[in-house]
């Protein structure tokens, strides 16, 4: 990944209260092109996650106001976004509890940047594949291909540029291709649980997506609207 913030680069929420570790994470992640959000307390972490819906959470278990485990449990009530736990040496039981609470993986401090980056890539790749119909990260159906790893979308062999929100919305639909995804689920996964009733967001962004992903009259539809319920990505297995 090239250095510098790219609006479509994955966004990582770093939840860490130690300034030294914070600086290390900030420098390393920014150098590798990730967009960052930071929180120093559990409360701040939950707020940031709900407001910005990052692509991944790096979660320190020892936070000043609440247990990192509680943060993980609370996130799991509304989102499947990957959670990577950072724990101190000797917290073996905490690690098991963190995995039970819904964390995807953990790293024991101190760890190197290379190791962290590798774990982040695995977690992001894994989340891109959850529920996808084929074993690699590229989804393909009729005229549409979506590479969830590279964040590349093509329609009838034409590359389409999507905004981060549009991409997130499309990726949730791709993960459930062929099935109806409810308004509430889409809103919660893309905009956060506080936006679960803001169906006008969806109407606006689905209109953008439909326009950008219009495959042309010779192809069928990409999306179906299930009135009053949600949307479905039409899926024909390739
Ligand atoms: Ca700490």
Residue range 165-186, pLDDT digits in tens: 999 999 999 888 888 888 988 9
The model's pTM is 0.71
Q: Which residues contact 131 (CB under 8 A, 6 or more apart)?
A: 175, 176
Task: Look at phi and psi of residue 53 and say left if phi exceeds 0, alpha if psi is from -120 to 50, else beta.
Answer: left
Q: Please tell me whether residue 102 adopts helix, strand or coil conformation.
A: coil
Ligand 1 mean position to 60 CA, how many Å? 6
**Distance in Å, CA 68 to ligand 1 centroid:** 9
Q: Average pLDDT for residues 188-215, to the nearest whole number?
A: 92
User: Ligand 1 center to residue 31 CA distance, Å?
Assistant: 23
Specify the length of the chain in residues. Answer: 238
How far does residue 40's CA lie from ligand 1's centre (Å)?
9
Distance 189 CA to ligand 1 centre (A): 28
Q: What is the mean pLDDT of residues 208-232?
A: 88
Distance 190 CA to ligand 1 centre (A): 29
């Amino acid at each position: 990944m090239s250095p510098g913030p790219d609006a479509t680069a994955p966004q990582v929420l770093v939840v860490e209260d130690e300034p030294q570790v914070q600086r290390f994470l900030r420098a390393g992640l920014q150098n590798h092109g990730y967009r960052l959000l930071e929180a120093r307390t559990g409360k701040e972490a939950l707020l940031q996650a709900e407001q910005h819906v990052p692509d991944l959470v790096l979660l320190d278990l020892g936070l000043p106001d609440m247990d990192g485990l509680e943060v993980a449990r609370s996130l799991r009530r509304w989102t499947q976004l990957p959670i990577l736990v950072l724990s101190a040496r000797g917290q073996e039981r905490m690690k098991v509890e963190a995995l039970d609470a819904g964390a995807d993986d953990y790293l024991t401090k101190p760890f190197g940047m290379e190791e962290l980056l590798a774990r982040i890539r695995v977690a992001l790749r894994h989340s891109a594949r959850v529920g996808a119909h084929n074993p690699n990260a590229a989804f393909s159906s009729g005229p549409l291909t979506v590479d969830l790893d590279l964040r590349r979308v093509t329609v009838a062999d034409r590359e389409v540029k999507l905004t981060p929100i549009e991409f997130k919305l499309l990726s949730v639909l791709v993960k459930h291709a062929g099935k109806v995804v409810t308004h509430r689920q889409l809103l919660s996964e893309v905009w956060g649980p506080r936006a679960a009733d803001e169906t006008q967001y969806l109407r606006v962004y689905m209109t953008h997506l439909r326009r950008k992903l219009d495959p042309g009259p010779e192809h069928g539809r990409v999306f179906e609207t299930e009135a009053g319920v949600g949307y479905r990505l039409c899926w024909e297995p390739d």
